[in-house]
Amino acid sequence: MRLVVARCQVDYAGRLSAHLPMATRLIMVKNDGSVLVHSDGGSYKPLNWMSPPATLREGTTDDGQVEWRVTSPKADDTLRILIEEVLSDTRHDLGIDPGLQKDGVEKHLQALLAEHPATLSDGLTLVRREFPTAIGPVDLMCRDGEGLSVAVEIKRRGDIDGVEQLTRYLELLNRDPLLTVNGAVRGVFAAQAIKPQARVLAEDRGIACVVVDYDALRGIDDPSHRLF
């Protein structure tokens, strides 16, 4: 990765036009060919960029000013950077990135809820994880205290798409006479947070919503340490 801090002017031409007047900025040139221009603010988003694959050509204008041109082979877009002064120019070999490992994602939640299904509803017991259907596996297939089958869909963030997904599963599961011998398969939508619109839709379709406390599930949350 190449990191250049420079006083520069940036012009983007293509599907739209954008202009950044002369100012001190960070230019990031990644190994994948992408070029990103950042300011010291505006959160993590670049002010302008060219996505990979891209080609960077360094040259000079007719009046001798340093000019970078970044082009894409997939489009006619061009990122033109005029550099007035370079304050820093460094290169770093970051090696192979192992990728982001999130804590509390759906697979972790699924494993924890499979161990403690009764936290979703009293008397709930696990039948199987990743219960297969024709359109994909249901996260948990459980049985309640009355012997009814219960399909559980688990999301980190519960939105309308998750409710729609569980609805499609339930439509298929309720065609299976082995699952409906004691009555219709009901659904439980579990997430660390559920959007209001998703909750309204789920409850309208007879699907129970459960907000999951991840820390409590894995035994980190100790009520004795709370002020309230």
Domain assignments of the chain as residue spans, ordered by start? 2-91, 106-217
Residue 26 φ then ψ, to 5°:
-100, 125
Mean pLDDT within 1-18: 93
Describe the crossing of helices 160-173 and 196-204 by its angle, rounded to 10 degrees: 20
Predicted confidence (pLDDT) per residue in 52-110, tens digit: 889 999 999 999 999 999 998 878 899 999 999 999 999 999 887 766 555 556 788 88
Amino acid 222: pLDDT? 46
What is the C-alpha to C-alpha distance for residues 15 and 106, in angstroms, rounded to an integer? 38
The answer to whether 1 touches 65, Cβ cutoff 8 Å, is: no
Which CATH architecture best describes the domain 2-91? Distorted Sandwich (2.70)
Distances (CA, A) of 206 to 103, 163, 166, 186, 209: 31, 11, 11, 8, 10
Fold classified for 106-217: Trna Endonuclease; Chain: A, domain 1 (3.40.1350)
Predicted confidence (pLDDT) per residue in 172-201, tens digit: 999 999 999 889 999 999 999 999 999 999
Q: Is the pTM for the entire model greater than 0.85?
A: no
List the structure tokens of 20.
Answer: 């950044």
Model confidence at 220, in pLDDT bands (50, 70, 90)? very low
Amino acid 100: pLDDT? 53
Distances (CA, A) of 16 to 20, 42, 77: 14, 21, 9
Predicted confidence (pLDDT) per residue in 97-152, tens digit: 766 555 556 788 889 999 999 999 999 999 999 999 999 999 999 999 999 999 99
Mean pLDDT within 209-215: 90
Distances (CA, A) of 153 to 68, 101, 126, 189: 50, 22, 13, 5
Half-sphere exposure at residue 155, Cβ-oriented, CA atoms within 13 angstroms? 19
